[in-house]
Amino acid sequence: MTKGDILKIIEKENVNFFRIQFCDIKGITKNVAIPKSQIGKALDGKIMFDGSSIDGFARIEESDMYLVPDYDTFCILPWRNQEGVAAARIICDVHKADGTPFDGCPRVTLKKSLAKAKEMGFTMNVGTEAEFFLFKLNKDGKSTTDTNDNAGYFSLDPEDTGLNCRREIIETLEKMGFEIEASHHEVAEGQHEINFKYADALECADNTVTFKWVVKSVARKHNLHATFMPKPIFGINGSGMHTNQSLFNLDGSNAFADENDKMQLSEAAYQYIAGIIKNARGFSAVTNPLVNSYKRMVPGYEAPVYVAWSASNRSALVRIPASRGVGTRVEVRCPDPTCNPYLAFAMMLNSGLDGIKNKLTPPASTDIDIFKMTPQEKDEAGIASMPASLHEALDAFKANPISKETLGDHIYGKYIINKEAEWDSYRIAVTDWELHNYLDIY
């Protein structure tokens, strides 16, 4: 799409308000809203903002930053049309005052990783499956953890009372250019999943942050709160974001496919899997970034706990879906939807490329239920555990050289500061569990 194309759409659709969006290092979408008179300026990348006001961005003495739009991300916002007056949005990269890309911009970070992959002869395709809960609002409009249904996995319409909301989410996404492949109720009450078609990694990251925004916005219209929190309720399944990924050669062929192999996987695919296995503990702090993330990753709730791979075993961290040929891909099952997709994709990509560059060999495929293996059996098979807490994940993150190589000095340093502060805040908090178990006894 060109600037001219966008201006024509703006006139045709009577767009009077324009949202210029970007993402901070925590994966939170930020935006600047401007009137129609400033749209030309925005499309030329001339809108300035104060980077020191964004957590993890810039110091106050170097705070002037510009938002440089990616024209291909322009779209009309279907739910914002009021009496024939429309609104639109565009996603931007953050640049410094001298015009160079800002190292603290997650979108820029992913672009750098994709450029390195291209130098090796690869492009990356990604498809995400972000689960979410729909909860009721209380009389004050605040979110609760009361679900609006009692349905289960793949339930039919009468039980799935969130269906109307989910249907409107799908219709909205389709109007915005998404190709929706399927939707269904998930395992837990109030839990849902909507799958959209894979895309190149940058577009998929854009789509993932857009998807979360749309889900939350439409849910509010139905007097519901949508949350992507990994484990909002104890004792039931949490929400993950299985991330399907594949490398393609520059000629457009799938670099993971080899019809002559017994599993129809190429040498590059095995090496990529080996790189993911080697670095999984090290990228967990990015793919699973919250204290709460590690309350999802416990045995018994389908979330991966052990670092292993399999062609079919859903208890493994890495699964190879059945599709072959152009659809050959690696599914990494640990990420959750609170991660920053730009940083998470970059970390997983560079982890896989580490396996290719160093010609790593993956361990043997684990084709039995790992949750039923004894500790001794796991030790003999060389199956490690994923970090059990954000603190443990941060230690592994800091020990892995790929972390700083991928994120760069700026995001790497700011990310550690932010997450260590989160862990400390959690560590010293007095919880309801402690009061319930200790207050009357001691």
CATH code of residue 328: 3.30.590.10
Does 260 share its domain with 299? yes
pTM score of the predicted model: 0.94
165 plus 90 within the same structural domain:
no
Q: What span, in angstroms and rounded, lies between the C-alpha atoms of 76 and 69?
A: 15
Q: Which of 102, 137, 153 is the last residue of a domain?
A: 102
157: pLDDT strictly greater than 70: no
Residue 21 — left, alpha, or beta (φ > 0 → left; ψ -120 to 50 → alpha)?
beta
Residue 441 lies in a domain: no
Look at residues 77, 102, 127 and tell me which one is the last residue of a structural domain: 102
Characterize 383-413 residue by residue with b for buried, 16 or more Cβ atoms within 10 angstroms of its Cβ, and e for exposed: beebbebbbbbbebbeebebbeebbeebbbe
Specify if 9 maps to a domain.
yes
Do 166 and 310 have their domain in common?
yes
- Assess whether 49 and 159 both reside in one domain: no
Q: Identify whether residues 26 and 134 lie together within a single domain.
A: no
Residue 83 and residue 125 share a domain:
no
Number of domains in the chain: 2
Q: What is the DSSP string of 165-218?
A: HHHHHHHHHHHTT--EEEEEE-SSTTEEEEEE--EEHHHHHHHHHHHHHHHHHH
pLDDT bucket at 160, cuts 50 / 70 / 90: low
- Both 79 and 125 in one domain: the answer is no
Query: Quick check: 94 and 25 in contact, CB under 8 A?
Result: no
More reliable by pLDDT, 150 or 316: 316
Residue pLDDT, tens place only, 228-258 = 999 999 988 899 999 999 999 999 999 999 9
Q: From the DSSP assignment, how many helices (H) and strands (E) are in the chain? A: 12, 17
Q: Same structural domain for residues 315 and 382? A: yes
| 213 and 319, same domain (yes or no) | yes
**Model confidence pLDDT, tens digit, residues 355-396:** 999 999 999 998 888 888 888 888 888 889 999 999 999 999
Sequence length of the chain is: 442
Whether 437 maps to a domain, the answer reads no
CA angle 335, 344, 92 (to 5 degrees): 130
Could you give the C-alpha distances from 118 to 252, 258, 320, 357, 388, in angstroms and in order? 12, 21, 23, 13, 35
Which of 67, 102, 137 marks a domain boundary?
102
Domain boundaries, position 186: 112-432
Q: How far apart are the C-alpha atoms of 191 and 56, rounded to whole Å?
A: 32
Query: What's the CATH code of the domain at 48?
Result: 3.10.20.70
Q: How confident is the model at residue 211 (pLDDT cuts 50, 70, 90)?
A: very high
74 backbone dihedrals φ, ψ, rounded to 5° = -65, 135
Task: Classify residue 107: in a domain, yes or no.
Answer: no
Whether residue 22 is found in the same domain as residue 162: no
User: Both 38 and 183 in a single domain?
Assistant: no
Task: Give 269's pLDDT tier (boundaries 50, 70, 90).
Answer: very high
Identify whether residues 33 and 148 lie together within a single domain: no
User: What is the DSSP secondary structure assignment for residue 366, as one 8-state letter?
Assistant: -
* Domain-embedded: residue 438: no
Q: Which residues are annotated as catalytic?
A: 50, 129, 131, 186, 193, 242, 314, 331, 333
Two tokens, residue 336 = 């959750």
Q: Would you give the DSSP letter of residue 27?
A: S
pLDDT value at position 61? 47
CA distance 181 to 172: 14
* DSSP-assigned beta bridge partners for residue 94: 67
> Largest alpha-carbon pair distance within the chain?
71
Please, what is the average pLDDT of the chain? 92
The answer to whether 330 touches 272, Cβ cutoff 8 Å, is: yes
Residue 195 lies in a domain: yes
**Both tokens assigned to 288:** 């699973």
